[in-house]
Amino acid sequence: MEPVSILVVDDNPEIREIIQILLQGEGFSIEQAKNGMEALQALVGQAFDLIILDIMMPGMNGYQTCLEIRKQSNAPILFLSAKGQEGDKTLGFSSGGDDYLVKPFSYNELVSRSKALIRRYQIYKGKDAASETLKPQDNIKGMASHGSDSHTIHFHHLEIDESAETVFTGGHQIELTDTEYAMLHLLVKNRRQIFSAERLYEAVWEEEYYYGANNTIMVHIRNLRKKIEKDPKNPVMIKTIWGKGYRCD
């Protein structure tokens, strides 16, 4: 089995080396890039299971790099930044990031966040089928089956192919990140159930809910609505139940 491959993008060589040492100690294969252009070049012909991306870099910053990465890869992206304001995190998630870690970070934080993102990505890409027979949402009671067969779900104007983990509308594929797909799949498979931010976060991210995760959920829901709703400002598929959470109708 090939080792998990991680791309570390940071203009500070010391930080790159520290991250490489820490994550190599966990058995991961690490490749480094010192800026956004090098990161994009590294993606040509090579697939990564995680991209750790600094925000404050010369030339293309992390947000711009993330937008470009999303044109060719759905690998999870963990932002690193010394800026920890909610607006900075929102911008990171809006550009396609999956998680956000504020510098200085601890060894445990880096490893746990990295492993959670990698685990979820492997499950949804079918890489971990030997050890994971169920997806996170398969453990949730009350799941219903929809669609003409067990692999396709028809929901409003969407067709969700569970085998390929792709979403189509009118014959055209909607480009979703693995996090967006996981959220949509969970809500649709459990339609009419209300998911609190805490329940949704722990099911999709597979880690304990923490203060600030609610904002993470809100941004991902907003991004998902932009891609699947005909009128994102007046959603009919993913509803917000004020004070309680979200559900698919």
**DSSP per position, 26-41:** TT-EEEEESSHHHHHH
From 102, 124, 146, the end of a domain falls on 124
Cross-strand partners of 29: 5
Long-range contacts of 79-82 (CB under 8 A, 24+ apart): 79/53, 79/54, 79/55, 80/10, 80/15, 80/52, 80/53, 80/54, 80/55, 80/105, 81/54, 81/55, 81/56, 82/56
Q: Is residue 160 part of a domain?
A: yes
> With contact defined as beta carbons under 8 Å apart, do 100 and 94 qualify?
no
Give the Cα separation of 241 and 232 in Å (integer).
16
Long-range contacts of 169-172 (CB under 8 A, 24+ apart): 169/228
From 104, 124, 144, the end of a domain falls on 124
Q: Is residue 129 part of a domain?
A: no
In the sheet that 172-174 helps form, which strands lie side by side, from edge to edge? 152-155, 158-161, 166-169, 172-174
34 & 120 share domain: yes
179 & 244 share domain: yes
Domain containing residue 113:
5-124
pTM for the model: 0.60
Question: CATH number, domain at 104?
Answer: 3.40.50.2300
User: What's the pLDDT score for residue 239?
Assistant: 92
Using the structure block, give the residue that is written with the tokens 């949704």. Answer: 200
User: What's the pLDDT score for residue 209?
Assistant: 80
For the chain, the distance separating the N- and C-terminal CA atoms, rounded to the nearest angstrom, is: 41
CA distances 130 to 10, 118, 126, 127, 178, Å, are 34, 16, 9, 8, 20
Give the Cα separation of 68 and 71 in Å (integer).
5
Sequential pLDDT tens for the chain (249 residues): 678 899 999 999 999 999 999 999 899 999 999 999 999 999 998 889 999 999 999 889 999 999 999 888 888 999 988 876 666 777 777 788 888 888 888 888 888 889 888 887 876 665 444 333 334 344 333 333 333 445 888 888 899 888 888 899 888 888 887 788 889 999 999 988 999 988 998 888 877 787 667 777 888 888 899 899 989 888 999 999 988 999 998
Q: Is residue 131 part of a domain?
A: no
Q: How many CB atoms lie within 10 A of CB 7?
A: 25
159 & 217 share domain: yes
User: What's the pLDDT score for residue 84?
Assistant: 61
**Total number of domains constituting the chain:** 2
User: What's the pLDDT score for residue 28?
Assistant: 93
Using the structure block, give the residue that is written with the tokens 């004020």. Answer: 242
Give the Cα separation of 10 and 140 in Å (integer).
39
Give the Cα separation of 11 and 33 in Å (integer).
8
Q: How many CB atoms lie within 10 A of CB 24?
A: 13
